[in-house]
Structure 1
């Protein structure tokens, strides 16, 4: 019935009906409040005069105000969506950087390994078990975590543990490792993008008013919050989390209490790398899977961690969503690249005022 009324009102506006009928039709069209209604009323305003023109102008103003609010809401959703991606990419880095003080330039490659693990899992399923394709991401999650965690453990035991207290050498070594991992993946899978499909439950979109929400972005948001919640529980309510927090607060005191800090470092690095791996599973659904996948997230991840507060999970959560929303509000005016530059400048200015970030850990001691 509503569609019929809308169609009838639209036909009245382009007919020779009396002015009273046209005014009533304008009210019906204005109540719809979408862009099609705006386009129709704009043409009516241009071709009419008197009371009809005035009513159309008033309706256009009201619709523009409503659409501006919906556009702001859409930008907020895009920002939350971007923030969930940044949270997944940064949360593992927040742990390793917070506990170990290591600047891991190969963190993005852990994300990339998770994405390629998803690709391999889907290839096997397509070839041998096509009926399980909708379960491919569920199967890929533990495998991606395991692959990235084992690579991270090997990096920590083989390289990083030899460079503690030497941040410049650590940064250069992990940067070199990132190049090695990129080239290894490029050699095995080729330099071109690989196709990772969307399961049926992550395909399509739905509308909420004038908001367009895609299922894959919504599920990634839910997944990011779930990972955050599980990690928060591990950090707060398990013996292993207690050890990590003890080493973060005061490494020497933790060692004097019998905590094996070298193994805390190793397993923490593996945990952070594993979380980056499952971030790669999620990112494979919205980004190109290529050897350069991780490169696009490493700088943003560091910005999130530094802005939120090193080692603080709640700070990482707030930082990720804040930067995501600010980025999406700046993009229409400054463009994607300039918008990121503006965000980086703002973070630099913020860090000058609050060097320890938004939510600094209390009692943190930094030792060699």
Structure 2
């Protein structure tokens, strides 16, 4: 098939599957925050990619601080960088919700236009502060290299780290949503905002914290992104369409749907990209998703909510 032996084809598919899992990890980290925001608040946040890139730039700055002022601790800088990325991106999210988003609830088209304008402002800010060129992050030595699985298959250590990080973050989000008081309030507001307010839940506070958490998770996704790509002012826009696709395809209010959708789309793109061009892989993946959404417009997994 395509000039490869069965052994070579098996190795290629295994390597592409692993590459797809890395892409899945980035998609899922991005989509988790967006699904929480869009699913609960109905806000179409076109600046979500810029929050991711803010996290990537925070990781870049943290790596330079450790290189220059604490080289002996450089091996552990990435854990500090993720915390910094989460806090800074989340804090900006809280500010944006207070200054902009809270005035536009129940007006999805207005939130789309407003956050698209915000994305342009943030891109220009990054361009002015960090420069127009892409920058890369130096990884600690223990993240470099690969582990041999067979004679023809190797897996990248930093890729394994990204996947492990994604499992941890997804688990934490699931615990917050289903085992905490805040998560109970979020699910109540999602199910029926009016009744939630009537029984004493501060829906505005829940919205603000939700938006901040979603943006903070995007910041962590930006930290993970630095392991697989260079960081530039417009890099976030390369992922925002795929992220919205993941959220809509999986079902905007379903954590399980977001996970399954991210896995399906990332694996499809990764496998098709080897045999076709990157653009054709995206086109075919998009056509498949559109076809499935025509059969199931509400997405793969649906929560019953009362409006």
Q: TM-score, normalised by structure 2?
A: 0.96
Which residue in 1 is equivalent to 2:161? 219
Task: Give the secondary structure class of the aligned counterpart of 2:132.
Answer: coil
Separation in structure 2 between the aligned mates of residue 98 and residue 202 of structure 1, nearest angstrom:
35
Tell me the residue number matched to 2:81.
140
Partner of residue 310 from structure 1, selected from 252, 276, 301: 252
1:180 aligns with 2:121: yes
The 3-state SS of whatever aligns with 1:196 is coil
User: How many angstroms apart in 1 are the aligned matches of 2:198 and 2:264?
Assistant: 39
In the TM superposition, residue 154 of structure 1 has moved relative to its aligned partner by 0.9
Q: CA deviation at 1:311?
A: 1.9
* Paired position in structure 2 for 1:348: 290
Work out the CA distance in 1 between the residues paired with 2:295 and 2:34: 23
Residue equivalent to 1:151 = 92
Among 210, 227, 231, the residue aligned to 1:289 = 231
In the TM superposition, what is the alpha-carbon distance from 1:83 to its structure 2 partner? 0.8
Instruction: State the Cα distance separating 1:344 from its structure 2 match.
Output: 1.3
* Alpha-carbon offset, residue 118 of structure 1: 0.6
Structure 1 residue 357: deviation in Å? 0.7
- Deviation for aligned residue 1:99: 0.8
Name the structure 2 match of 1:75: 16
2:197 to 255, 258, 269: 255
How many residues are paired up?
A: 304
> Which residue does 1:171 correspond to in 2?
112
Shift of 1:169: 1.1
- The alignment status of 1:118 with 2:38, answered yes or no, reads no
Q: Does 1:86 pair with 2:49?
A: no
2 CA distance for matches of 1:229 and 1:328? 25
Corresponding residue number in structure 2 for 1:321:
263
In the alignment, what sits opposite 1:4? none
Post-superposition offset of 1:71: 2.1
Q: With the length of structure 1 as denominator, give the TM-score of the two structures.
A: 0.80
Match of 1:32 in 2: none
Shift of 1:153: 0.8
Q: CA deviation at 1:123?
A: 1.3
| Structure 1: 4+ residue segments shifted above 6 A | none
Q: Deviation of residue 355 (structure 1)?
A: 1.2
Distance 2:306 2:297 in 1: 15
Matched residue of 1:105: which SS? coil
**Cα displacement string for residues 6-30 of structure 1 (whole angstroms, at most 9, x for unaligned residues):** xxxxxxxxxxxxxxxxxxxxxxxxx
Who is 1:197 aligned against? 138
**Cα distance in 1, alignment partners of residues 191 and 298 from structure 2:** 14
Tell me which moved more, 269-278 or 68-77: 68-77
- For the aligned residue pairs, the C-alpha RMSD in angstroms reads 1.4
Q: Which runs of 5+ in 2 are unaligned?
A: none
SS in 2 for 1:206: strand
